[in-house]
A and B are shown apart, each in its own frame.
Chain A
Amino acid sequence: MTTITSDPLELPELEDVEELSRADLVFYGVDHSGPSYEARVFVNNPKADAATERVLDHGYAGSFSVFGHNGCFGDEGHCLPDQRERDEFDLRAPHPLRPLTMTVIATEAVRRAFVEPAVSALTVTVVIVVPDDGFPKAGGSAARFDYVRLLTYEG
Chain B
Amino acid sequence: MSTGTPRPQATSTPLRFRRSAARLTTGQVKNLRDGFQAMQGINDDRGYGYHAGIHGLPLPIGCDNAHGSDYFLPWHRAYLYFFERALRDQVPNAMLTWWDWRISPQRAARLPKPFVNKTVDRKPNPLASAGVAPLALQQGGNQVPAKTVREPGAPGAPALPSVQEVSDVLALSDFVDFSAQLEQLHNRVHGWVGGHMGQIAYAAFDPIFWAHHCMIDRLWRLWQLRHPGAGPPASILDEALPPFRMTVRGTLSVTALGYDYAVASASTQPPTP
Contact = CB atoms under 8 A, between A and B. Distances in A.
Interface of A: 32, 35-38, 50, 63-70, 73-74, 93-94, 96-97, 100-103, 105, 129-136
Given A65-B158, A73-B57, A73-B59, A135 B195 contact: yes
A87 to B, nearest CB: 19
B40 interface: no
24 contacts: A35-B199, A36-B187, A36-B198, A38-B156, A38-B191, A63-B184, A65-B191, A67-B186, A70-B200, A73-B59, A73-B201, A93-B64, A93-B65, A94-B65, A102-B184, A105-B168, A131-B156, A131-B157, A131-B191, A131-B194, A132-B155, A133-B154, A133-B198, A136-B143
Contact of B65 (A70, A96, A105): A96
Interface residues of B, number: 38
A38 B67 CA distance: 16
A129 B242 CA distance: 33
Contacts of A66: 187
Contacts of A105: 168, 181
Contacts, number: 102
B144 interface: yes
Contacts of A131: 151, 154-158, 191, 194, 198
B188 interface: yes
A125 B12 CA distance: 58
Interface string B60-74: 010011011100000
Interface of B: 57, 59, 61, 64-65, 67-69, 139-141, 143-144, 151, 154-158, 168, 177, 180-181, 184, 186-188, 190-191, 194-196, 198-201, 203, 242
A36 B68 contact: no
Contacts of B242: 93
A73 B140 contact: yes
B151 A134 contact: yes
**A-B pairs with the 6 shortest C-beta distances?**
A96-B64, A133-B194, A65-B187, A133-B151, A100-B68, A131-B157
Contacts of A101: 68
A97 B158 CA distance: 23
A35 to B, nearest CB: 8
A64 B191 CA distance: 12
B27 to A, nearest CB: 34
A66 B69 CA distance: 13
A132 B198 CA distance: 11
B68 A32 contact: yes
**Which among B140, B151, B191 has the greatest number of chain A C-beta atoms within 10 A?**
B191
Nearest to B144: A135
Nearest to A128: B156
Contacts of A102: 180, 184
A107 to B, nearest CB: 10
Contact of B198 (A64, A73, A129, A135): A135
Contact of B190 (A36, A103, A136): A36
Given A100-B68, A105-B181, A133-B198, A63 B158 contact: yes
Given A50-B156, A93-B65, A133 B195 contact: yes
Nearest to B68: A100
**Which among A35, A67, A132 has the greatest number of chain B C-beta atoms within 10 A?**
A67
Contacts of A65: 158, 184, 187-188, 190-191
Contacts of B68: 32, 100-101
B145 to A, nearest CB: 9
A97 B67 CA distance: 10
Contact of B156 (A32, A97, A129): A129
Given A65-B184, A65-B187, A131-B198, 18 more contacts: A36-B187, A36-B199, A65-B158, A65-B188, A65-B190, A66-B187, A67-B200, A69-B61, A73-B201, A102-B184, A131-B157, A131-B194, A132-B154, A133-B151, A134-B151, A134-B195, A135-B143, A135-B194
